[in-house]
Amino acid sequence: MAVKRRTSQDVLLSTALENFYNAAEEMGLEDDLVEILSRSERRVCVSIPVEMDDGSVRVFDGYRVVHSSALGPAKGGIRFHPQVSIDETEALAFMMTWKCSLAGIPYGGGKGGVCCEPLELSLKEKERITRTFAARIEPFVGAWTDVPAPDVNTGAQEMVWFMDTISKIRGQLEPAVFTGKPVPLWGSKGRNAATGLGVATCALELLRVLGKDPKDTTVAVQGFGNVGSFTAKFLHDAGVKVVAICDITGTYYCKDGIDVNKAMEHTQKNPKRLLEGYTQPGLEKSDPNDLLYLDVDVLLPCAMEGAINKSNADKVKAKHIVEGANGPLTPEADEILRPKGIYIVPDFLANSGGVIGSYFEWCQNLAGFFWSEEEYNQRLTSIMKSNFQRVWEYSKEKKVEMRRAAFMVAIKRVADAVKMRGVFL
């Protein structure tokens, strides 16, 4: 039986669905499972009336989508952005299902957002939007149903407002409904560095399976925000030579290796958290994009999506790539780089440390018992190593690139859960 494929005007959702259909076809996934997994379980649209600081009232659109709960409660962030839409939210929820599945944690995929321009909002206006949105989606979120987290333009403060609003409505503390909270208010030690630690762990695992000594390896890390800086730090601490880092102010290259800890100290003192003004012996500064074309063993793009695309992929000289950002390589870039024999560790494997860290916070909230940062990092590293090995072995067994192998491994775990649980009539 041929399955009728869904269509959508949203490019992100269409791409996510097409990737799923292609992987499902290659796996030989049953038509009924394709039909089930191509659709979201729940799509919630709400209106958010808010009194602005000038006394006027504006109504914002908010969304929360659960793609799958086959493996557990939905997990995914809430973003505040003027381009938020129901189709974008569904596409991101769809992709969160596969990320959580591949991570081996008991979550399905969810996502949410409010269509607004955060830069035009005061702190009080943002709080009113957050609390009203929380009240409107309150019937649909919970520690065992749907667990949101921070995303674009939201952070620890918004998660506190969300948690506090839900707790007041329900008349009891509900810390496990939202993750990404500050440590003093049921947050988790280690969460800030989790994504970077996960990316670095995948890079080190790649070197291990390739038989390369970290001390004889050169890497370049694009982006020196939260993910990039901690990725560089953990690699540096493991003995890898980080020869280049960059941000919007430029590429900072040193053939003898960057002193990453010193660079992080510099950015922490800089009001804008930038590398501008950083110096060390032998350091050379050039255009930010130059980092992508350095002849290094491993390139780690940890900045923006689409950084490597059809216009510049042929200039990449790195032997291998580990994706720290979401979608730093376009499909066209993949096609250009594949014939070169470059191993590419895909984003939803490499940067899954963040969602695994959210899982840790959720576990601690449910138990009311908190771990040390050392315990947190040990558990995160163990899971990341196991996940990498699973994808690596599957890619070799099926003779497919790691990106396709990761997708197939993730789909199989969810499909198996759906089959075991059956269809409720």
DSSP characters for 364-424? HHHHT----HHHHHHHHHHHHHHHHHHHHHHHHHHT--HHHHHHHHHHHHHHHHHHHH---
- Cβ within 8 Å of residue 241, ≥6 positions away: 215, 217, 218, 219, 256, 257
Place of tokens 């987290």: 149
Place of tokens 């919630």: 44
- Active-site residue flag, 181: no
**Distance between CA 122 and CA 150 in Å, rounded?**
19
Q: By three-state DSSP, how is residue 173 classified?
A: coil
Q: Which of 4, 75, 99, 111 is catalytic?
A: 111
From 164, 100, 94, select the one nearest 357 (Cα to Cα): 100
Are 323 and 343 contacting, i.e. CB atoms less than 8 angstroms apart?
Answer: no
**What count of other Cβ atoms lies within 10 Å of the Cβ of residue 4?**
9
**Phi, psi (rounded to 5 degrees) for 50:** -135, 135
Tell me how far apart the 2 most distant CA atoms of the chain are, in Å.
Answer: 69
**Distance between CA 246 and CA 291 in Å, rounded?**
7
**Distance between CA 262 and CA 153 in Å, rounded?**
28
Positions annotated as catalytic residues are: 111
